[in-house]
Amino acid sequence: MLIEIPALFSASEVDATVATLLDQPWVDGKVTAGPRSAMAKNNRQLSEDSPVAHRIGEQILARLSDNALFMSAALPKRIYPPLFNRYSGGEGFDWHIDNAIRGIKGVRERVRTDISATLFLADPASYDGGELVIRDTFGEHAVKLPAGHLLIYPGSSLHKINPVTRGERIASFFWIESLVREDSQRQLLLDMDVAIQTLTAQDADHHALLQLSGAYHNLLRRWSDG
């Protein structure tokens, strides 16, 4: 499932964040790519050791923890510390699939990449190209969201970043290990949770809501590996 989390950060917050990021040293994006992905990857990244990257990454994680849609859709167990990349002058990232397991640098912890996430940090009108293209059983989906909006999608998806031919694309990217690893099961749980919240707001029959809520939690208990 592809899910947009709108306005995770305001325009003014994004502007301040981007100004801080651009003032930092950047490295070749291949440093975080596997051998095969490195052949397709052409961009720059903020170093994983950057204190600024750590600080802004913590701000992103804090904001996500307060976002009801993200928590319901992702059911996060672990989140890889956010990374930051930039594309310009024809840079892009050809078709690839993210590594299934990623070790967190400096700690003895690994994250299963059930869900991939991209936080867009550049105004889409400020650059040409740079679409995140995701291929699934329904075809290809080209995504270019407003600055401050987040997209989450299955980590198992084949995807690419189209070359940026004008301006600069700046984003944060990271991965989520979910309590429920199967995407179709997460989608069903999200649908049920949305229905529960809607019916609750409509003051629906208490016993029917209790039955539906019980089914949701029993399915989560059955499917969760937390």
- Tens of pLDDT along 81-136? 999 999 999 999 999 999 999 999 888 899 999 999 999 999 999 999 999 999 99
Binding positions for 2-oxoglutarate: 169
Q: How many distinct structural domains can be found in the chain?
A: 2
Residues 162 and 195 in one domain: no
| 4 and 145 Cβ atoms separated by less than 8 Å | yes
Binding positions for Fe cation: 96, 98, 159
Residues 16 and 99 in one domain: yes
Q: Phi, psi (5° rounding) for residue 47?
A: -60, 140
Residues 150 and 78 in one domain: yes
Residues 47 and 88 in one domain: yes
Enter the tokens of residue 78: 């672990």
CATH code, domain carrying 131:
2.60.120.620
Average model confidence (pLDDT) across the chain: 95
Going by pLDDT thresholds of 50, 70 and 90, the confidence category of residue 146 is very high
Residues 55 and 122 in one domain: yes
Residues 126 and 189 in one domain: no
Binding positions: 96, 98, 159, 169
Residues 210 and 152 in one domain: no
Stated pTM of the model: 0.94
Phi-psi region of 90 (alpha: psi -120 to 50; beta: other; left: phi over 0): left
> Does residue 31 have a pLDDT over 90?
no
Mean pLDDT of 24-32: 88
